A and B are shown apart, each in its own frame.
Chain A
Amino acid sequence: MLETLPYSNAPVPVDLTINGQLHQLAIEPRTTLLDVLREHLGLMGTKKGCDHGQCGACTVLLNGERRVSCLTLAVSHDEATVTTVEGLATGDELSPLQQAFLEYDAYQCGYCTPGQLCSAQGLLHEGHARTRDEVRELMSGNLCRCGAYPHITDAILSVLLTQQPTP
């Protein structure tokens, strides 16, 4: 079948700028962004909780938007910019969200946390969450089996309120 088509499953060149650093990769078409991060680049901060888009643990920012990296084929995003949990802080200085998670104890085992942080960063960027209910709904793509939800919501609200001037 394949012989008659102009396709090949050989590795494809893909350029990705991850946390500010350009990576020029050659990857099989089937490689997910999550596996690029973990298996190819050893960036283990992004977690695999389900590998099927059902938990949010693998959430990263792709060109600034939050995505589940486990259902994202990297080949399809040549030249994209990716931010993972490793790229949120500035040097030793935690981002406002990271700091709020620390203060509000918005985590327990920490396994969902990289995904929660990237998702929350995306949520702030999107600008559609203005109420507690909206934060809860728009963070529902990130499961936390430790049940830290009320603290996660509080932490995000605290950043939402301190970053955006109330009229």
Chain B
Amino acid sequence: MVSNSPVPASLELPPVPAPGSPRRLEGRDKLTGRAQYAGDFTSHLTGGVLDAAVVVTSTQATGRILTIDASAANKVPGVRLVLTHENAPRLHAVLATNGAEIGDLLPLQDDKLHYYGQAVAVVVADTLAAARDAAALVHVTYSAPAPDAAFTLAQGRSRSQDVKKVGAGDPGQVQVGHPDKAFAAAPHQVDLTFDTAPHHHNAMEPGAIVAAWEADGGLTVHLPTQFSYGDAVILGEAFGFGLKERLPNIVAQVLGGIEFHHKVRVVSTMTGGAFGSKNANVHLLLAPMAAKLTGRPVKLVLDRAQTFSMMPFRGEMHQRIRLGADAEGRLQAVLHDALLAKGTAGQFVAPIGEATTKVYATPNLGLHVQAAALDTNAPGWMRGPGAPNGQFALESALDTLAYQVGLDPLEIRLRNYADTEPDTGKEWSSKALRECYAQGAERVGWHQRNPQVGSMRGENGRLLGYGMATAIYPTLQLPARARIVLGADGRAVVQTANHEIGQGMITTFTQLAAETLGLPLEQVRLEWGDTRLPYGGMTVGSMTTLSGGAAIQEAAQQVLKTLLKRVVADQASPLYNLAPATLRVENGRIMGPGGASETVAAAMARQPESPITEEATTGRTMGHSRYGREAFGAEFAVVSVDPDTLHVQVERLVGAFAGGRILNPLLVRSQLMGSMVWGLGQALLEQTAMDERTGHWLNDSLGEALVPTNADVADIDIILIEEDDSRGHPLGVKGLGELGITGVAAAIANAIFHATGQRITSLPITLDKLLGTPLPQSAAPASNP
């Protein structure tokens, strides 16, 4: 019952996180409703006209469209167009570097059905209400569905095929040593299979796009995306622009300094959450197709249900882990087999097992990935792609092994600590994982727990359990360019087409440029998310700071160099004739030895005609390094389970992360916290239910496809451990946006095992799974830590 008593005195003012860190620079806009997302566009931003487009999706997965009757829809006042495969512009093939569906399947090109919820028409009208009305009147008939359709792995197992490359090119088949033989010979063996449910990103902002064709034949789109340049090239390819830039070699061209300027402009300033779901989407093509025929700007926003079939998701996965260990618990063999669902079109297979080849030392290692193409829309990149599922399987198996051998779960991880990269033997660029284990364990009270399974009791006889897992995520860097212009007013403008998706890019980049230039934050302004700006790379794989940040730092260093050269050559400067190497710039002031100094603004003001402009390109080696480069962490979960109803509650999550240099602890903390919340959701809640009879994502709503609420989220404790990773990356930073999710599901599953003795091998762990097996009869004395 909610009490009406006053606030208890015991309630303390929550400490402000990372007090010294700059707050989000776009914060005021987000807090006052001024921040503008694509769906918020109104006609005054597009020259007085902005029509509304609504998609009509199929209610059958396979077969053909027999008829589409748009006559009633066309009669609705205000309707301008009903776009179907019969009248849609023909598109040219596109190449989707991320394996997205549109690389294989362009929308509205023929009458074939590929999945339930496929776009079959787009209705454009003057108002959203009219477009919705008309969309409901589009009448579609279908031929009989295919009798042998498969929508789940259980149905489509016979379609399994070996996968050569997973993710962005990691090997799908790995063999180091003789894993089968070593497994067979190992004194301790664990052999477990795991199933993880499909689930969707469900960013709070659904897919949205505004498309406008210009009089000169150019196309401008505004949309939330993680790769504006990529989307621009796709549009250019699809609509047959004579393109110099093609996606496969865009990187080479960027590196070669070829200016990217064709008639497609993609602008992406605010994104209401992405998590891998936003780029190369189907609606990217639909809105420009419609706008081309109406000759007027169009805004298309998906409804929530449509995001389930028209945007990607994390597909269903089936895994088998075999671990062989010696008597001391040292891994002799690790075998990881995985079968992943693919879409009917699209090439994406999550980089499953990537972590398995990097996380623990073992002389014999096998990875065998297969995929089965199902009659559904295509799975795609989703926060920590592959890693949390792979880690759930591997770390659950390792936990099982620990109990079998009689080792503490933490000890078995230390015993198998990989001092060099397991699959390559390379030295690590840096790896403070031991620190993470130690500090995380200390914070959660790991060594004070009773390690015996089913032994711990909380209030009201609740079963308490502690679990842990290793978090691991690759540190990658992609090519990126940045331009910095230092103006006559001493202010700098930083330009790069990277994207703000909630990770805090605007703040981090501005901060980084300001620090490098020696300017106060207020004197630096970032321009981002627009293909008119220098290529900023993809906002994926936790690489924003690594990729774009490196380019910004380099450009800033060049600006600084030019500035110092200029002042020492400028007779009017108090710093005239000093050696540039003796000068420092701090807080907007250039300082020399012996107290000589002037402000950057003063120095620049003397040559108002010549601002300093520098560009830099970084990431040429694509992050390849002679070192192994991973970010690591140790994640701990404390759960309590009601002994009668088996209702699970996560009491606490502790994550200790080693992420190189931390530029803005506030933003990093928020990223890690968010990804740990994702881990909790994946562990206990998230699943999109497939109706095996029709291919329909049945619970295609936020009310039925559950994601965590505020009440679900436990106390989350984050420990940041700084590392010197300067030999891994020029900024010494690592990717931290996804690391946090990778070990959480495993830690929670392991904690549930510790509490109940039940090893649940499928996600999410809903209580029906726990109700299946009896509880431990352990009469161990209650302990209440």
Say whether A143 contacts B709, CB under 8 Å: yes
Q: How far is the CA of A57 from the CA of B304 in the complex (A)?
A: 13
Would you give the shortest CB distance from A32 to chain B, in whole angstroms?
10
B656 CB-CB contact with A under 8 Å: no
B41 nearest CB neighbor, chain A only: A44
Q: List 14 A-B contacts (CB under 8 A).
A: A47-B37, A89-B31, A104-B17, A127-B4, A130-B7, A143-B204, A144-B710, A145-B275, A147-B708, A150-B673, A153-B14, A154-B17, A155-B14, A162-B13
A137 CB-CB contact with B under 8 Å: yes
**Which B positions have Cβ atoms within 8 angstroms of A?**
2-9, 11-14, 16-18, 23-24, 26-37, 39-40, 42, 44, 127-129, 201-206, 270-275, 301, 303-304, 501-504, 666-667, 669-671, 673-678, 701-703, 707-711, 713, 715-716
B666 nearest CB neighbor, chain A only: A105
Say whether B667 contacts A105, CB under 8 Å: yes
Say whether B701 contacts A49, CB under 8 Å: no
Say whether A51 contacts B32, CB under 8 Å: no
Given contacts A54-B703, A105-B666, contact A150 B7 (CB under 8 A): no
Residues of chain B lying within 8 A (CB to CB) of residue A49: 204-206, 304, 702
A49-B702, A84-B33 are known contacts; what are 20 more A-B pairs with Cβ within 8 Å? A46-B33, A48-B39, A50-B702, A52-B703, A53-B703, A55-B702, A94-B32, A98-B31, A101-B31, A102-B23, A105-B24, A109-B204, A110-B272, A113-B31, A117-B31, A128-B2, A137-B711, A145-B707, A147-B676, A150-B673
Residues of chain B lying within 8 A (CB to CB) of residue A109: 203-205, 270-274, 501-502
- Which residues in chain A, 111-162, are within 8 Å of chain B measured between CB atoms? 111-114, 117, 127-132, 134-155, 157-158, 160-162
Residues of chain B lying within 8 A (CB to CB) of residue A53: 703
**Which A positions have Cβ atoms within 8 angstroms of B?**
28, 30-31, 35, 38-39, 42-55, 57, 84-86, 88-89, 94, 98, 101-105, 107-114, 117, 127-132, 134-155, 157-158, 160-162, 164, 166-167
A87 nearest CB neighbor, chain B only: B33
Q: How far is the CA of A98 from the CA of B27 in the complex (A)?
A: 9
Residues of chain B lying within 8 A (CB to CB) of residue A88: 32
Say whether B128 contacts A39, CB under 8 Å: yes
A111 nearest CB neighbor, chain B only: B272
Q: How far is the CA of A128 from the CA of B7 in the complex (A)?
A: 10
B504 nearest CB neighbor, chain A only: A108
Q: How far is the CA of A57 from the CA of B501 in the complex (A)?
A: 17
Residue of B127, B304, B713 touching A39 (CB-CB under 8 A): B127
Residues of chain B lying within 8 A (CB to CB) of residue A143: 204, 702, 707, 709
Q: How far is the CA of A31 from the CA of B133 in the complex (A)?
A: 13
Say whether A140 contacts B710, CB under 8 Å: yes
Q: How far is the CA of A49 from the CA of B31 in the complex (A)?
A: 17
Say whether B30 contacts A158, CB under 8 Å: no
Say whether B14 contacts A158, CB under 8 Å: yes
Residue of A28, A84, A94 touching B28 (CB-CB under 8 A): A94
Say whether B129 contacts A104, CB under 8 Å: no
Q: How far is the CA of A136 from the CA of B712 in the complex (A)?
A: 8
Residues of chain B lying within 8 A (CB to CB) of residue A152: 710
Given contacts A110-B272, A130-B7, A147-B713, contact A154 B707 (CB under 8 A): no
Q: How far is the CA of A89 from the CA of B6 in the complex (A)?
A: 27
Q: How far is the CA of A104 from the CA of B702 in the complex (A)?
A: 26
Say whether A150 contacts B272, CB under 8 Å: no
Residue of B28, B31, B674 touching A148 (CB-CB under 8 A): B674
Say whether B33 contacts A114, CB under 8 Å: yes
Would you give the shortest CB distance from A60 to chain B, in whole angstroms?
11
Q: How far is the CA of A39 from the CA of B599 in the complex (A)?
A: 49
Say whether A149 contacts B710, CB under 8 Å: yes
Say whether B5 contacts A103, CB under 8 Å: no
Residues of chain B lying within 8 A (CB to CB) of residue A86: 32-34
Say whether A147 contacts B30, CB under 8 Å: no
Given contacts A35-B128, A54-B703, contact A113 B709 (CB under 8 A): no
Residues of chain A lying within 8 A (CB to CB) of residue B128: 35, 39
Say whether B11 contacts A161, CB under 8 Å: yes
B303 nearest CB neighbor, chain A only: A51
Say whether A52 contacts B304, CB under 8 Å: yes
Residue of A107, A113, A130, A145 touching B8 (CB-CB under 8 A): A130
Say whether B129 contacts A35, CB under 8 Å: yes
Among A42, A57, A113, A152: residue with most chain B CB under 10 A: A113
Say whether B670 contacts A166, CB under 8 Å: no
Residues of chain A lying within 8 A (CB to CB) of residue B708: 147, 149
Would you give the shortest CB distance from A162 to chain B, in whole angstroms?
7
Would you give the shortest CB distance from B224 to chain A, in whole angstroms?
9
Say whether B703 contacts A161, CB under 8 Å: no
Residues of chain A lying within 8 A (CB to CB) of residue B35: 110
Residue of A84, A105, A110, A153 touching B23 (CB-CB under 8 A): A105
Say whether B711 contacts A160, CB under 8 Å: no
Q: How far is the CA of A131 from the CA of B6 in the complex (A)?
A: 10
Residues of chain A lying within 8 A (CB to CB) of residue B678: 147
Among B203, B270, B502, B676: residue with most chain A CB under 10 A: B502
Say whether A47 contacts B272, CB under 8 Å: yes
Q: How far is the CA of A88 from the CA of B35 in the complex (A)?
A: 15
Given contacts A50-B701, A143-B707, contact A129 B502 (CB under 8 A): no
Residue of B11, B30, B34 touching A157 (CB-CB under 8 A): B11
Residues of chain B lying within 8 A (CB to CB) of residue A54: 304, 701-703
Given contacts A54-B702, A132-B11, contact A31 B129 (CB under 8 A): yes
Say whether A45 contacts B32, CB under 8 Å: yes
Q: How far is the CA of A157 from the CA of B23 in the complex (A)?
A: 19
Say whether A111 contacts B11, CB under 8 Å: no
Say whether B271 contacts A136, CB under 8 Å: no
Would you give the shortest CB distance from A58 to chain B, in whole angstroms?
11
Q: How far is the CA of A105 from the CA of B17 in the complex (A)?
A: 8
